Homo-oligomer: A and B are copies of this chain.
Amino acid sequence: MIVILKQKIEQEKIIKLTEELEAQGVKVNPVIGTEISILGLVGDTSRIDPSKIEANTIVEKVMHVQEPFKKANRMFHPDDTIVDVNGAKIGGNKIAMIAGPCSVESEIQITEIAKDVKEIGANFLRGGAFKPRTSPYAFQGLKYDGLNLLKVAREKTGLPIVTEIMSPYDIEVFNENVDVIQVGARNMQNFDLLKELGKINKPILLKRGLSATLEELLMSAEYIMAGGNENVILCERGIRTFETYTRNTLDLSAIPALKKLSHLPVVVDPSHATGKYWMVAPLAKAAVAIGADGLIIEVHNDPAHALCDGPQSIKPSKYEKLFEELKVIANAVGREI
């Protein structure tokens, strides 16, 4: 951590600040220049709150040079984490293929789609039971009935189920019934929910918030991991920018960046990123080429009558074609699907 001091500060004030900082267990190395002076802090700075130092009247600003996350940090955990979901893996050489409808609508709908994507080769089933919708008047999901239908689909296909949680009230029922618990973009900094999820052992798929930096995403993962649950899967799903042609802007450079900063697996959701079905295939290919560890793709057997997100869903026939194309690209980058 580096503390930039204001100009023309008296020596004794610098000494006082130095003592305060060293009392917190770090070593302070001063660099005194003619115009700018800095204090270099060396040691374990993770417990030091930079904003507290910045509030000091002799301080111009504080820059941290070390990432503030520990458990999620590749520096302290060089090997890739592979998350085990009842034997199925996310992370490692094989790319996880997660597919299914935006929301669970009926037994026939979810089991049909589950069978279709299973046959094509998907290894996880996604489907929303609790739906975060911008409007209170929009369809909010089948809730607990939806969870039960997902279980029926799992039983018929063997596919582990991935579904979104919206409230800490539901953690117990999710922990018992679901294979991967998804935290949606809007809840990425719902810290109370994250803390609760840190207390269980279930794999958590953590989506990046619409305006979250990579560091904030990793700090949210750190919340879960600091609680004791290290089974975290990161998910890039598009960020909010000025461009409105696509619903969000898929930040594919986040994949190599996250994999450099962290050992956690990173999956990509090309469906939510753009909101356009015809963009799913090209973005999915790019995601595999750039090194994603998995893909979450919305597949629906009747997009025009889907209860939500029809415009971004593709039909099973299209998913099948895409699946074959992705295999070739995976091979080209030394991975398999």
Chain A contact residues, CB within 8 Å of chain B = 2, 4, 7, 27, 29, 31-36, 38, 40, 42-43, 46-47, 49, 51-52, 54-57, 60, 63, 65-66, 68, 75, 132-139, 166-169, 186-187, 189-193, 195, 209-211, 213-216, 219, 222-223, 226-227, 239-246, 249-257, 260, 273-275, 277-279, 282-283, 285-291, 303-311, 313, 325, 328-329, 331-333
Contacts and interface: CB of A to CB of B under 8 A. Distances in A.
Contacts of A191: 132-133, 136, 166, 186
A287 B289 CA distance: 9
26 contacts: A33-B40, A36-B65, A51-B310, A52-B305, A54-B310, A55-B303, A134-B216, A136-B226, A136-B227, A166-B190, A166-B191, A167-B192, A169-B192, A187-B190, A190-B190, A211-B242, A240-B242, A241-B249, A243-B251, A246-B257, A249-B249, A249-B251, A250-B253, A252-B252, A253-B273, A282-B290
Given A191-B132, A192-B167, A256-B282, A31 B36 contact: no
Main secondary structure of the interface of A (DSSP, over half): mixed
B137 A47 contact: yes
B245 A214 contact: yes
